[in-house]
Amino acid sequence: MWLKHDLTLPSMASRQLLLRCSTSCIHAVVDPGIPCRDDVFRKNLHLKRRSDLASINLKMPYHSSFKIRIAVRHIKAGAVIAYPTEAVYGLGCDPLNEAAVMTLLDIKQRPIEKGLILIASSLTQLRPYLVLDQTIIDRITPSWPGPVTWVIPAQPWVPKWLTGEHQSLAVRVTDHPIARDLCAQFGSPLVSTSANPTTRPAIKESRKLLKTFADADIFIVHGKVGELEQETAIYNAVSGKQLR
């Protein structure tokens, strides 16, 4: 096919370069986790792939099962994703993947001591992480699914990269359709923290998200955030006291 357009055969060095770039391109399309051999080519391809992905997602319907499946594949591979929640965009990952959580904390510049929120599609997904009694269940279930986060005593096995310096865990059964479907298809809760560097305002628009995290390796699930003006309220499930 190449000879049809140019009868001049390339030199051996040119053919080797072409083969190397073609192979790198194929690897990057099939498996984003495999690095390209040429640093310049890899950087350009990464930027183009990010731009193409953003363009595709912006044109896709608000609620697409395809983009949910792709996002879940990234989560299972240990990636950090950004996705819309009830009020703002959130950063998320597999809560039991320590490397992924550490990457997320680094991107957000959040101290590990503060702990993180988990979101889920049902209380069933959260039960293994929590110490629940009937009083707590009766208190939290009327607010779920919905934009209310509860701080609940954590099981002893829950890692410190989730609880931080606390003995409890902040959790929510979300009613945002994209966040809910991500958890449902992943089959487990997800980490959820606002998608903004610490001390900077939360983000509600995907275009601003792209600009803010232009240099970060984040898979973005584009969609509309919920109608809440502020981030979800947080309550202590034992005392019922509002914390945020």
pLDDT digit string, tens, across residues 55-107: 544 444 455 788 999 999 999 999 999 999 999 999 999 999 999 999 999 99
Contact 97, 200 (CB under 8 A): no
- Cβ(192)–Cβ(90) under 8 Å? yes
pLDDT of residue 81: 97
- pLDDT reading at 189 higher than 50: yes
Q: With H, G, I as helix, E, B as strand and everything else as coil, classify residue 201.
A: coil
pLDDT at 45: 41
Cis peptide before 145 (omega within 30 of 0): yes
Quick one: pLDDT at residue 236?
A: 98
Q: Is 22 exposed, middle or buried (0-12, 13-18, 19+ CB in 10 A)?
A: exposed
Find out whether 130 and 154 touch, Cβ atoms under 8 Å: yes
Does residue 190 come out as left (phi exceeding 0), alpha (psi in the -120 to 50 range) or beta?
A: beta
Top-confidence residue, 42 or 193: 193
- Domain 63-236's class? alpha beta
- Maximum separation of any 2 CA atoms in the chain, in Å: 80
Give me the mean pLDDT over the 29-45 stretch: 44
Among residues 163, 193, 158, which one has the least CA distance to residue 179?
193
pLDDT at 175 exceeding the cut of 50? yes
Name the residue among 237, 210, 1, 221 with its Cα closest to residue 132: 237
Least confident interval from 58-67, 119-128, 140-149, 205-214:
58-67
Count Cα atoms within 13 angstroms, Cβ side, for 142: 6
**CATH 3.90.870.10, the chain: domain bounds:** 63-236
Residue 177 pLDDT greater than 90, yes or no: yes
